[in-house]
Amino acid sequence: MTIKESKTINTFIISIISAFLLTMFILPLLYGISGSLKSKEQLSSLNHSPIPQSQKKFNYNGKDCEIFLVPQEDGSKVPLAIVKKGRDKSVFVDPKNPKAGEITWNGKWRNLESEWTTDFQFVNYKKGWVAVNFLRLFKNTLFYAIITTFGTLFSSTLVAYGFSRFRFPGRSQFFLILIATIVLPSAVTLIPVYTIFYKIGWVGTWLPLIVPHFFANAYNVFLLRQFMLGIPKEMDEAARIDGCGPIATLYKVILPQCIPSVISVGLFHFFWAWNDYFNPLLYLAGHPEKYPISIGLSTFSNMYSTETHLVQAVSMIACVVPFIIFVVAQKFFMEGVVVSGVEK
């Protein structure tokens, strides 16, 4: 075997394994698409085709008659529409030639094979959209995600700048505490924080979800600081000689250099907020008009647990915007993960 041949074989094997693994990996997504396009009857029907199908029908004398594959004496099967169902014999017509009259066939029609035709239930999407009031969920989620992304970027940049560019007493101790808060389970602070928000009447409003993000997030500060440390200090000094104060230096010198990491941090936060389930559940319970997508979806699935097709349709709708963001900002996502995960 030549080297070239063995290389081709390796390429083939590796690519096939990867393709198989990928198919398994995204199989549930394919199920979701399939399930969202079926009706409740199609889902529980014995026809398990992934492509939504219904039994073909033929309109005969103003009545929809199901079409079955009826075996003939010569062994072939002919699609015929059933007109009158009987126990041991039924009456059919030939949909291609209905004028030829009714045909009586001896045998049990229940044992006959049906003729199927594709039948997508796009109406599920419309029904699901209306039932969860998706537009409202979407607006709420977008509002929450955008305003807190702004808040955390604004405050975390300031704090990261403070930690990376200025010497002050206790800096390294403060930074250590900041890192420690990353691994602190939120449960430990939750009850008093909730109590405060309850006492000042903020429970049931957006405020407890938004305000804390304007006080910097430890993880974001860490990432931004790492990036800022890589910017040469001479640049700040040059700016200072040109008469820039520390704030002007931040937005004229440091920020333009940090754009990629700011975008990564912003995207990660945006995505986190888009998914946030715990905080809205805690602070918005009982206020459906303020629910984000996460709570709206889970409430819907609890209420309509038997309507799998609608639950799947709504889940698919929820994927659309994140997928679009992914396609547009793929580079920032994938690079951001690597920066945050490896360079620690």
Partner 1 sequence: MIKKLRANGIQNWEKKWGLIFIAPWLIGFTVFYLGPMVASFIFSFFDYNLIQPEATAFVAGENWKRAFLDDPIVIKSIAHILQYTMISLPISFCFSLLVAVLLNSRYLLGKKLFRALFYLPSMIPFVASVLIWQGIMNEQTGWFNLILQNAGFPGIRWLASTRWIYISYTLIGIWGCGNTILIFLAGLQGVPKELYEAATIDGANSWQRLKAVTIPMMTPVIFYNVLISVISLMQFFLTPMVINNGSGFPNGMTNFPMVYFYRQAFSYFNMGYGAVIAWVIFFVGMIFTLILFGTQSKWVYYAGDKK
Binders of partner 1 among residues 156 to 185 (CB under 8 A) are 158-159, 161-163, 165-169, 171, 174, 177-178, 181, 183-185
Q: Which is nearer to partner 1, 150 or 333 (CB)?
A: 333
At 245, the amino acid letter reads: G
| Beta pairing, strands 53-55 & 57-60 | unpaired
In this complex, which beta carbon is closest to partner 1, that of residue 57 or of residue 287? 287
To the nearest whole angstrom, how small is the minimum distance from the Cβ of residue 77 to partner 1? 23
Binding mask 8-27 for partner 1 (x = CB under 8 A): --xx-xxx-xx--xx--xxx
How far, in Å, CA of 8 to CA of 20, rounded? Answer: 18
Number of residues that bind partner 1 (CB under 8 A): 93
Q: For 191, what's the count of Cα atoms within 13 Å in the CB-facing half-sphere? A: 2
- Tell which positions 42-81 bind partner 1, by CB under 8 A: 43-44, 48, 50
**Residue 70, helix vs strand vs coil:** strand
Q: Per CB under 8 A, which of residues 228..267 are in contact with partner 1? A: 246
DSSP state of 169: T
Query: How many Å apart are CA 3 and CA 178, to the nearest integer?
Result: 55
| Interaction residues for partner 1, span 101-120 (CB under 8 A) | none
Best CA proximity match to 68, nearest among 80, 76, 77, 60: 80
Q: Output the smallest distance, CB 134 to partner 1, in A.
A: 12
Contact assessment for residue 94 and residue 100, using Cβ atoms and an 8 Å cutoff:
yes
The residues in 303-322 that bind partner 1, with binding defined as CB under 8 A, are: 308, 311-312, 314-316, 318-319, 322
Backbone angles phi, psi at 111, to 5 degrees: -85, -5
Q: Which of residues 265-304 bind partner 1 (CB under 8 A)?
A: 271, 274-275, 277-278, 281-282, 293-294, 297-298, 301-302
Q: Which is nearer to partner 1, 83 or 311 (CB)?
A: 311
* CB nearer to partner 1: pick between 84 and 337: 337
Fill in the amino acid letter for 173.
Q
> 84: part of which helix (H) or strand (E)?
strand 77-84
- The tokens describing 340, both together, are 């945050």
Least Cβ distance, residue 209 to partner 1 (angstroms): 13
